Amino acid sequence: MKHRDKDDNGQNGHWRPTLEWCDICQNELDIIIQLEEEPMELFYLLKHTGLWEHRQSFLEKHNSSSNKSAGRKEIEKYRAQLNQKQINFLNNMYAADLEMFGYDPI
């Protein structure tokens, strides 16, 4: 992975589209999970990698996706603050990410 905290322009790298920093597509993958669906997908991964007996230590680890900070109403509140030009910009900027990870455009 080539992800960095800052990109070449000094911007927060976390907000860069995945295709700009991820080389995962160059690998042959056996399992792809979305941790937003945890713990079910985490359990699937642990079972298929022979780590099931260690599941408790995985569940004790903090994961930002398991502490969902924004509910649907909160997301809609923030979306309502965007104009159509901003929405189009974000949907275009993250189009590949939205498709790759199965998310709907905003």
What pLDDT does residue 69 have? 52
Mean pLDDT, the chain, as a whole number? 78
Burial per residue of 61-82, b for 16 or more beta-carbon CB atoms within 10 angstroms, e otherwise: eeeeeeeeeeeeeeeeeeeeee
pLDDT in tens, 83-101: 999 999 999 999 998 998 8
